[in-house]
């Protein structure tokens, strides 16, 4: 590997890190095609690098989001139980399904979800002033203990919210974990829109909570790839370092971008990635 290639990988990781922090993704969706298509890196090495980038994005962004209270730690840990379980099952099923089928299923799901995401549901399910503190006198039901609030610097308000649909959140967590085990991505691309549109979690909190979760999900798969010798230190190291830097900047930008713009951009990204995956699955050499 040349110095130029290492710098290219660092820049690619930097861009993926910014996008990952903005939209609750791990950056793997961008890293895998760059490594496999541009640098001709074997797919197993590309996925291993992607998983470590997912961990880097999650850890770097979550350290800030947890400190600011944007990531909902109780909700994140509750859903992590389901995500990790899904990742285990997904990893086992992956051995029995052809890659082309998996890619087409994932692309279909993403394309379908980008439509309601682009239309948006404007901040439903949460108030902008927390008067819910009085409720804490009585013992809280489990679902009520998953509520949260954070200060939105873009709108200059305190946003309070409560989870409106725990079964949907658990269901999408299992699915997202399964996809992570199957394809080596973080799973935020499914969790963020469902939490935002159907579970009453504001987009910023959904993205931050997803980011908080996906590192742990990725660790389970990353350890396996590492054990198999699929981690190439120079390729992975250069990519991950770029992601570290990009995700730090992305998490700062996310605090100053209006949620509506964030949602539109996220929907567009979902559609582009879905079309890219369709193209690859139909016409490419998918193993």
Partner 1 sequence: MKQRNPLASATLFVGVLVSTGLLAAGLAQAILHPERLRQDLPPLSSLLHGILTADPVATINAGLLVLMFTPLARVIVVTGEFVRDREYSFALISIGVLLLLTMSVVIATL
Distance CA(162)–CA(112), nearest Å, equals 26
3-state SS class at 284: coil
User: Which range, of 51-59, 108-116, 190-198, 268-276, touches partner 1 by CB under 8 A?
Assistant: 51-59
User: Which range, of 39-47, 55-63, 190-198, 272-280, touches partner 1 by CB under 8 A?
Assistant: 55-63
> DSSP states of 80-139 as a string?
HHHHHHHHHHHHHHHTTS-HHHHHHHHHHHHHHHHHHHHH--TTTTEESS--GGGGGGSP
Q: How far is the CB of 91 from partner 1 (least distance, A)?
A: 7
Neighbours of 101 (CB within 10 A): 11
User: Which range, of 16-24, 25-33, 225-233, 256-264, touches partner 1 by CB under 8 A?
Assistant: 225-233
Binding to partner 1 by residue 196, rule CB under 8 A?
no
Interface residue with partner 1 among 63, 108, 255, 276 (CB under 8 A) is 63
Residue with tokens 């895998």: 32
Interface residue with partner 1 among 46, 52, 179, 267 (CB under 8 A) is 52
Binding to partner 1 by residue 14, rule CB under 8 A?
no
Rounded to 5 degrees, φ, ψ at 270 are -60, -45
User: Which range, of 165-173, 185-193, 231-239, 279-287, touches partner 1 by CB under 8 A?
Assistant: 231-239
User: Which range, of 115-123, 196-204, 237-245, 253-261, touches partner 1 by CB under 8 A?
Assistant: 237-245
**Helices 99-119 and 188-198 sit at what angle, rounded to 10 degrees?**
30
Q: What's the full length of the chain, in residues?
A: 287
Binding to partner 1 by residue 39, rule CB under 8 A?
no
Question: Restricting to residues 86-115, which ones interact with partner 1 according to CB under 8 A?
Answer: 87-88, 91-92
- In whole angstroms, how far apart are CA 79 and each of 75, 126, 144, 287? 6, 20, 15, 31
Interface residue with partner 1 among 12, 50, 78, 173 (CB under 8 A) is 78
Rounded to 5 degrees, φ, ψ at 194 are -70, -45
Closer of 56 and 273 to partner 1 (Cβ): 56
Distance CA(208)–CA(149), nearest Å, equals 12
Q: How far is the CB of 75 from partner 1 (least distance, A)?
A: 9
3-state SS class at 232: coil
Site residues for partner 1 per CB under 8 A: 3, 6, 52, 55-56, 58-60, 62-64, 66-67, 69, 71-74, 77-78, 80-81, 84-85, 87-88, 91-92, 132, 136, 142, 145, 147-150, 215-216, 218-220, 222-224, 226-227, 229, 231, 233-234, 236-238, 240-241, 244
């Amino acid at each position: 590997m040349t110095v130029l290639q290492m710098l290219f990988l660092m820049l690619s990781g930097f861009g993926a890190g910014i996008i990952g922090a903005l939209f609750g993704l791990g950056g793997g969706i961008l890293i895998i095609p760059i490594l496999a298509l541009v640098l001709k890196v074997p797919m197993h090495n590309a996925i291993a690098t992607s998983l470590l980038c997912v961990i880097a994005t999650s850890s770097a962004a979550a350290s800030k989001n947890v400190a600011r209270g944007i990531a909902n730690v109780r909700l994140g840990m509750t859903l992590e139980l389901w995500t990790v379980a899904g990742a285990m099952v997904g990893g086992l099923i992956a051995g029995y399904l052809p890659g082309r089928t998996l890619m087409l299923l994932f692309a279909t799901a993403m394309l379908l979800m980008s439509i309601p995401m682009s239309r948006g549901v404007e901040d439903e399910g949460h108030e902008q002033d927390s008067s819910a503190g009085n409720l804490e006198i009585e013992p809280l039901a489990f679902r009520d203990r998953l509520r949260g609030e954070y200060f939105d610097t873009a709108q200059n308000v305190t946003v309070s919210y409560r989870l409106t649909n725990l079964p949907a959140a658990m269901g999408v967590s299992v699915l997202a974990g399964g996809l992570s085990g199957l394809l080596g991505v973080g799973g935020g691309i499914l969790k963020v829109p469902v939490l935002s549109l159907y579970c009453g979690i504001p987009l910023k909190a959904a993205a931050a909570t997803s980011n908080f979760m996906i590192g742990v999900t990725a660790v389970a798969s990353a350890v396996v790839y590492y054990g198999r010798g699929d981690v190439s230190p120079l390729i992975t190291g250069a990519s991950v370092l770029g992601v570290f830097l990009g995700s730090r900047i992305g998490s700062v930008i996310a605090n100053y971008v209006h949620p509506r713009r964030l949602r539109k951009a996220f929907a567009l990204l979902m559609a582009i990635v879905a079309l890219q995956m369709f193209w690859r699955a139909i016409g490419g050499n998918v193993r």
